[in-house]
Amino acid sequence: MWPRINDLRAMELGTPDDFRTELNSLVLCGKKTATTGLLTEYIKEGEILEHAGERLALLDVRGTQVATIEITDVQLLNFIDVSWEHVIAEGEGDVSLDGWRVAHTRYWRRLGTIVEDSTQVVCLMFRLI
């Protein structure tokens, strides 16, 4: 089960270190309005997918709420089908779709998950409240 803060499900971006701090900063300044997660993480944690209109508590490395975001769109896709528009909305400075795929494949591999073209990912679009 993912953490709940003030009756909101929590959103924890990246890993609980400087990477999360960097990603949260991108959200807070308006550059990051999307993120991508693995469907297997939802299944493992017994969580349902977010839905448009749902509000989430954005947490920092200490588990403290730093913002509230509202989901504007949810797409369940194969990893290979993530669009360039989604990558741009992630706001992390990727310069190509292939580069984004390589970086995300490496990231998830470090966390113990091998990602292939057919791996199901959850693409979330959101806005800062």
- The 10s digit of each residue's pLDDT in 81-95 is 999 999 999 999 999
pLDDT digits (tens, 9 = 90+) for 49-73: 999 999 999 999 999 999 999 999 9
Is 1 a residue whose pLDDT tops 90?
no
pTM summary value: 0.95
Write the CB contacts of 125 (distance below 8 Å, at least 6 apart in sequence).
Answer: 33, 34, 71, 72, 73, 74, 86, 89
Strands (E), 4-128: 4-5, 8-11, 34-38, 55-59, 65-78, 120-128
